[in-house]
Chains A and B, each alone.
Chain A
Amino acid sequence: MTITLLVLVAIMATVVWWLFRQTINVRPWIAQRPIEGVHGDGALSLPSVKVGLGVFLAVATSLFALLISAYFMRMMGTDWTTLTVPKVLWLNTGLLILGSVAMQWTLVAARRGRVESVRTGLIATGVFSFAFLVGQLWAWQQLNAAGYYLASNPANAFFYLLTALHGLHLLGGLWVWGKTVAKTSRGVGIGAVRQTVELCTVYWHYLLVIWLVLFAVLLSSGHSFRSTDITNADFASDLRLTDHNGQLRSLSDFRGKVVAVLFGYTHCPEVCPATLAELAGTVKELGRDADRVQVLLVTVDPERDTSEILKQYVSAFNPAFLGLRGTPEQTAQVANDFKVIMRKGPGADANNYSVDHTSGTYIFDASGKLRRYVRYGLGGNVFADEIGRLLDAG
């Protein structure tokens, strides 16, 4: 909403500035004579249609500012996957710039009174603008073919929505353009089209600016949610704990696999099941590569989490996941190695308490080297991206 507010502040500032120029501070009950000036009534010296266009552009600006605000707000959602912007958009941008240039050229011709040039210029503008629209449709087609469907991701939905609304605005402009072209081909004088040409020029430039802003927004929105690269960290080199089948495990047992280590406990109300579910989803998506990934849950509550309970719990997410357990001292040692904080919270009685603990996940590559730390709440996509990338690399 900040963007919208900034735009509104700009619009309001213009209004207030203009009002003060309009002597908003005179005392009307004293100032009796008509105020001298261009019109005597303080109207703008522009023709009304131009003022009307200006007001409409303010409305359209509000519309696009709100959409961009919504875009950034929605981007904070964890399911946002930026789409790869089709290359053809660069071509389209070029076409729209050419359209704007042609319109400007038409305006100059109109001011000099050259009817023939006006017509040529208008037709050039139309050609470029229609080409732009066709290009936008082509971009849609490409995206659709690449599997970026409208409903499959909010980034796609916004892409289609923003381009569609911009395209509709351009179509509205082309309607006026069509009427003007019809007029020129009926051979009317320059006076009859001059104002329309001026209005169209303003509108085309405006739509170009809006498109450039939208395009920049669509391009700039790379991954805003990433894991933290901790490749050269000198902690968490290994752990030695018993797995839920009673086997002593260390990280070297999983050489050749990408390993995700997280700390948690079976009574965990929110963080642990959510993260495990995301990891389970990621592993499932991998298909045949699933064998090359190992998820390890280190319990921070060895008192309640027996091997049996741990096995039941972890296997529910994926039978291949392993729960690791040590004595309280061993657990504390591992936690210390991993710079993980764990603290027993208050509870109603000895069997009913919570354990606060660091909620992120460590990812090791196939050679057993610590590579990534994934904060809690970034969403399953981050796991999929990171694990996929490490698998590709190794």
Chain B
Amino acid sequence: MSYVAHDESDFVPPAEVEEMELYHAKTFVGKYIWSQDAKVIAVQYGITAIGIGVVALVLSWLMRLQLGFPNSFSFIDPSNYLQFVTLHGMIMVIYLLTALFLGGFGNYLIPLMVGARDMVFPYVNMVSYWVYLFAVLLLVASFFVPGGPTGAGWTLYPPQAILEGTPGAHLGIILMLVSLIFFIIGFTMGGLNYVVTVLQARTRGMTLMRLPLTIWGIFMATVLALLAFPALFVSAIMMTLDLTLGTSFFMPAIVSMGQQLDYGGGSPLMFQHLFWFFGHPEVYIVALPAFGIVSDLLSVHARKNIFGYRMMVWAILAIGGLSFVVWAHHMYVSGMNPYFGFFFATTTLIIAVPTALKVYNWVLTLWHGNIQLTVPMLFAIGFIFAFIHGGLTGLFLGNVTVSVPLSDTMFVVAHFHMVMAVAPIMVVFGAIYHWYPKITGRMLDDTLGKIHFWITFLGTYAIYLPMHYLGFLGVPRRYYAVGGTDFIPESAQSLNAGITIAALIVGAFQIVFLYNLVWSYFKGRPASDNPWNATTLEWQTPHTPPHHGNFGKTLPVVYRWAYDYSVPGADADFIPQNQPPSKKAGTAEEKHS
């Protein structure tokens, strides 16, 4: 225990950060459509991302219908199936998760949590959303062009992606690539805002080490995205040129449909390197915001400071750095020098260290906490389960010798869905239940929330646990139908049918969530300014929902870190970040050291 004394001279006069000039919209259109307010842009991002996410959910249903009950549905042929797989993956990873975490939560939470009036470049921020929307519309348009969307798999590997015979080999793939190019341009505009706002617009007293972990996660993820997306950008441009102008960046000499094509010498492996140079950091672009947000949810709802704050920050930085040197573990079966395989297996296993450290810290935050089983807390705990399971199977797949036989089986599908789909989605839900009161001024319904949680949590386990087993049996992924084989027992089909039923139920019950969102917006219980008794700045705004400019007349001044929960001797079980140190010696100011 240590005691820190304070006197008046330590206090900082408020609002010494330069006031930024805000654009004041007067019309409805200016406020809610062409809005430059990060909070509105966040909601726009959120609604668009969830909307396109629902499309991807339906696509996964169609896929599962075919896998569970092969050949029972006349509207699913092999081409359709591949298109569903491709678009489901692409939408979920990029257009839903990346956009929602960074464009949605990033926009809403960064200015509020660091104590800024808005993003530093509001106009660019607005354009970012509209470019993103355009990218989404291009993607949706590919469903309606002749040949349909591309069916090349979400990795879009050439040469197959742009060859005759792959579904959507003409317009579908072009729309996909152009949509990605626009997504990246839009993201870069937003990303500049997120990074510079965190660096420059923190309010007085908000040092880096007082930032909530949510901001650390989003910040590092944005840095990763800014540096990694150019790889996808470059490969999308090159592939577009290969496709439209006949260059041979990626296309080797190839005979397609009995015709010698004009390509020659290109390197499909080069595409894989570029793609995964983006693709692996992408995993952490989705995971780091989830890590950050879940840390805050656990701390708030367990009424306890986050265990090992500094370690958490360092782990985020370490994961960010390491995520750039593991990409080739996606390419073990593409053929590579065994020494490279060894190198990438090693770095892959090393990245498990900071990740495991975070998991321990989450569990230790819960330990002896005053756990409130609110809906956000349930989802946060659900995340820990899903992430541990997905992480453990990652250790299998990180090793070359184990990965090679498991590669291209359902085991991989189960692994990355646990770690990259279920885990982040748990956090997305938890975060929405947590921040919805601030965004709308009303609470989400608790009972519906709990139903939603249990169905989603148990349901996703019902989907993905058996899928690991299918992978061990050798059931391949991406196959329209497996047919009769010697090594796959008949019972695998029953398991597949069961998985499909679970997927249909989980998917259908998301209606409960959407209904809750809409119903509560009009009829929900009005929320107070700080319903969860949280310490961070977004809960200390004078209005709920916060007005344009966030903090009323004066910006808050920060005196402490974000995790002063259950401080011994304090009046309440939380001390907001902007509460000045009290002079009552020995009470609120006593700290664990």
Residues of A within 8 A of B564 (CB): 29
A80 to B561, CA, bound (A): 58
CA distance A5 to B328 in the complex (A): 13
* Minimal Cβ-Cβ distance residue in A for B250: A74
Q: Is the CB of A48 within 8 A of B208?
A: no
- The CA-CA distance from A11 to B226 in the complex, in Å, is 12
Smallest distance from the beta carbon of A270 to chain B beta carbons, Å? 15
Interface contact A42-B305, CB-CB below 8 Å = no
Bitwise, B260-294 to A at CB < 8 A (1) or not (0) is 00101111001001100100000000000000000
Which chain B residue lies CB-closest to A67? B234
Instruction: Give the number of A-B contacts (CB < 8 Å).
Output: 182
CB distance from B570 to the nearest CB of A (A): 13
Known: A32-B589, A52-B121. A157 touches B241 (CB 8 A): yes
In this complex, what residue of B is CB-closest to A1? B273
**Docked-complex contact B230 and A5, CB < 8 angstroms:** no
Give the docked Cα–Cα distance between A361 and B550 (Å): 75
> For residue A78, which residues in chain B have a CB less than 8 angstroms away from its CB?
265
Q: Which A residues are CB-close (under 8 A) to B205?
A: 34-35, 40-41
Q: Output the least CB separation between B350 and chain A (Å).
A: 16
Verify if A22 is at the interface (C-beta below 8 Å from B): yes
Interface assignment of B249: CB less than 8 Å from any CB of chain A: yes
Q: Which residues on A sit within 8 Å (CB–CB) of B324?
A: 5, 8, 12
A74–B231 Cα gap in the complex (Å)?
Answer: 15
Minimum CB distance partner of A164 in chain B = B237
Interface locus among B192-200, B387-395, B432-440, B491-499: B192-200
Q: Flag if B238 contacts A70 (CB, 8 Å).
A: yes
Q: Which of A30, A39, A80 is within 8 Å of B4, CB to CB?
A: A30
Q: Are A150 and B247 in contact (CB under 8 A)?
A: yes
Q: Which of B121, B202, B309, B314 contacts A43 (CB 8 A)?
A: B202
Q: Which of A35, A40, A51, A379 contacts B199 (CB under 8 A)?
A: A51
Contact pick for B559, options A12, A32, A48, CB 8 Å: A32
B207 & A23 in contact (Cβ 8 Å cutoff): yes
B300-338 at interface with A (beta carbon < 8 Å): 305, 309-310, 313-314, 317, 321, 324-325
> Nearest Cβ distance between residue A39 and chain B, in whole angstroms?
7
Give chain A nearest CB distance to B96 CB in angstroms: 23
Asked if residues A43 and B321 are in contact (CB atoms below 8 Å), the reply is no
Cβ proximity bits A23-41 to B, threshold 8 Å, 1 near / 0 not: 1111111111111000111
B203–A74 CB distance below 8 A: no
Contact A74 B266 (CB under 8 A): yes
Q: Does B378 contact A (CB under 8 A)?
A: no
The distance in angstroms between the C-alpha atoms of A19 and B201, with both chains bound, is 16
Q: Scan B557-593; emit 1 where CB is below 8 A from any A CB, else 0.
A: 1111101100000000000000001000000010111
How distant is A246 from chain B, measured CB to nearest CB, in Å? 37
Question: Known: A51-B200, A150-B247. Contact between A62 and B227, CB under 8 A?
Answer: yes
Asked if residues A73 and B207 are in contact (CB atoms below 8 Å), the reply is no
B67 at the interface (CB under 8 A from A): no
Kindly list chain B residues whose C-beta atoms are within 8 Å of the C-beta of A29.
Answer: 305, 309, 561, 563-564, 591-593
CB distance from A202 to the nearest CB of B (A): 15
Given the complex of chains A and B, what is the CA–CA distance between A317 and B568 in angstroms?
89
Per the 8 Å Cβ criterion, residues 44-89 of A in contact with B are 44, 48-49, 51-52, 55-56, 58-59, 62-63, 66-67, 70, 73-74, 76-80
Query: For B245, what are the chain A residues with a Cβ–Cβ distance below 8 Å?
Result: 150-151
Most B Cβ at <10 Å: residue of A5, A26, A40, A41: A41
Chain A residues closer than 8 Å to B234, beta-carbon distance: 63, 66-67, 70
With contacts A48-B196, A151-B246 taken as known, whether A30 is within 8 angstroms of B591 at the C-beta atoms is yes
In the assembled complex, the CB of A48 is this many whole angstroms from the nearest CB of chain B, namely 4
Which residues of the other chain, B, contact A99 by a CB distance below 8 angstroms? none
- Measured in the bound complex, the distance between the Cα atoms of B220 and A19 in whole Å is 12
Inter-subunit contact B17/A41 (CB<8 Å): yes
Q: What is the bound-complex CA distance between A204 and B589, given in angstroms? A: 53
B230 near A40 (CB under 8 angstroms)?
no
Contacting pair A55 B200 (CB below 8 A): no
Is A15 engaged at the interface, CB distance under 8 Å to the other chain?
yes
Contact residues in B for A11 (Cβ distance below 8 Å): 227
Interchain CB contact under 8 A, A70 and B270: yes
With A5-B325, A40-B12, A67-B234 as given contacts, are A15 and B557 in contact (CB-CB < 8 Å)?
A: no
State the CA gap A39–B202 with chains docked (Å).
10
Taking the nearest CB of chain A, how far is it from the CB of B246, in angstroms?
A: 4
| B204 at interface by CB-CB < 8 Å | yes
A29 CA to B33 CA in the complex, in Å?
Answer: 42
Give the size range of A's interface with the partner. Answer: 35 or more
Name the CB-closest residue of A to B253. A79
Q: How far is the CB of A64 from chain B (nearest CB, A)?
A: 9
Q: Is the CB of A73 within 8 A of B203?
A: no
Closest CB in chain B relative to A285 CB, distance in Å: 15
Residues of chain A within 8 A (CB-CB) of B200 are 43-44, 48, 51
Known contacts A1-B273, A8-B227, A51-B200; A32/B6 CB under 8 A: yes
Q: Are B321 and A12 in contact (CB under 8 A)?
A: yes
Asked if B477 is at the interface of the complex by the 8 Å CB criterion, the answer is no
Q: For chain B, which range describes its interface: under 10, 10 to 19, 20 to 34, or 35 or more residues?
A: 35 or more
Chain A nearest CB from B276 CB (Å) reads: 10
- Among B12, B120, B209, B581, contact of A52 (Cβ-Cβ < 8 Å): B120
Contact of B277 with A157 in the complex, beta carbons under 8 Å:
no
B277 in complex: contacting residue of A23, A44, A66, A158, CB < 8 Å: A66
Closest to B198 in A: A43
B486 within 8 Å of A (CB atoms): no
Flag B78-122 by CB within 8 Å of A: 1 or 0 each: 000000000000000000000000000000000000000000110
Chain B stretch 332-381: residues in CB contact (< 8 A) with chain A:
none
Q: Are B10 and A33 in contact (CB under 8 A)?
A: yes
Are the CB atoms of B209 and A28 closer together than 8 Å?
yes
A43–B18 CA distance with the chains assembled, in angstroms: 12
Q: Which of A28, A62, A157 contacts B207 (CB under 8 A)?
A: A28
Query: Which residue, A19, A66, A73, A74, has most C-beta atoms of chain B within 10 A?
Result: A66
The distance from the CB of A76 to the nearest CB of chain B, in whole angstroms, is 8
Q: Given A16, A25, A161, which contacts B238 in the complex, CB threshold below 8 Å? A: A161
How distant is the Cα of A25 from the Cα of B274 in the complex, in angstroms?
35
Task: Give the residues in chain B near A39, CB-CB below 8 Å.
Answer: 17, 204
Q: Which residues of A contact B313 (CB under 8 A)?
A: 24
* B480 CB–A CB distance under 8 Å: no
Measured between beta carbons, the chain A residues less than 8 angstroms from B2 are 30
Q: How far is the CA of A26 from the CA of B211 in the complex (A)?
A: 12
Q: Is B425 an interface residue (CB 8 A)?
A: no
Please judge, given known A-B contacts A8-B227, A41-B207, whether A154 and B559 are in contact too, CB under 8 Å. Answer: no
Q: Does B206 contact A (CB under 8 A)?
A: yes
Let me know if A242 is at the binding interface, CB within 8 A: no
Determine whether A195 belongs to the interface, using a CB cutoff of 8 Å to chain B: no
Asked if A359 lies at the interface with its beta carbon under 8 angstroms from chain B, I say: no
Contacts of B237 in A (CB 8 A): 161
Find out whether the CB atom of A154 lies under 8 angstroms from the CB atom of B247.
yes
Q: Which residues of A contact B277 (CB under 8 A)?
A: 1, 4, 66
Contact of B58 with A by CB under 8 A: no
The one of A8, A15, A77, A150 that contacts B266, using a Cβ cutoff of 8 Å: A77
A156 to B25, CA, bound (A): 50
Give Cα distance in the complex from A4 to B267, angstroms: 18
* Nearest CB of A to B575, in Å: 11
A27 to B2, CA, bound (A): 13
Task: Tell me, in angstroms, the Cα distance from A5 to B581 when the chains sit together.
Answer: 46
Interface residues, chain A, with chain B CB atoms under 8 Å away: 1, 4-5, 8, 11-12, 15-16, 19, 22-35, 39-44, 48-49, 51-52, 55-56, 58-59, 62-63, 66-67, 70, 73-74, 76-80, 150-151, 154, 157-158, 161, 379
Q: A43-B202, A62-B228, A151-B248 are in contact. List 20 more A-B contacts (CB 8 A).
A: A4-B277, A5-B325, A24-B209, A29-B305, A29-B563, A29-B592, A33-B6, A34-B10, A34-B557, A39-B17, A40-B16, A41-B206, A51-B196, A51-B200, A55-B195, A55-B196, A63-B234, A70-B249, A74-B270, A157-B247
Instruction: List 7 A-B residue pairs with CB atoms under 8 Å apart, sorted by A's residue number.
Output: A16-B321, A23-B207, A32-B581, A34-B12, A34-B204, A42-B208, A67-B234
The 5 closest A-B pairs by CB, nearest first: A79-B265, A28-B561, A34-B205, A63-B230, A151-B246
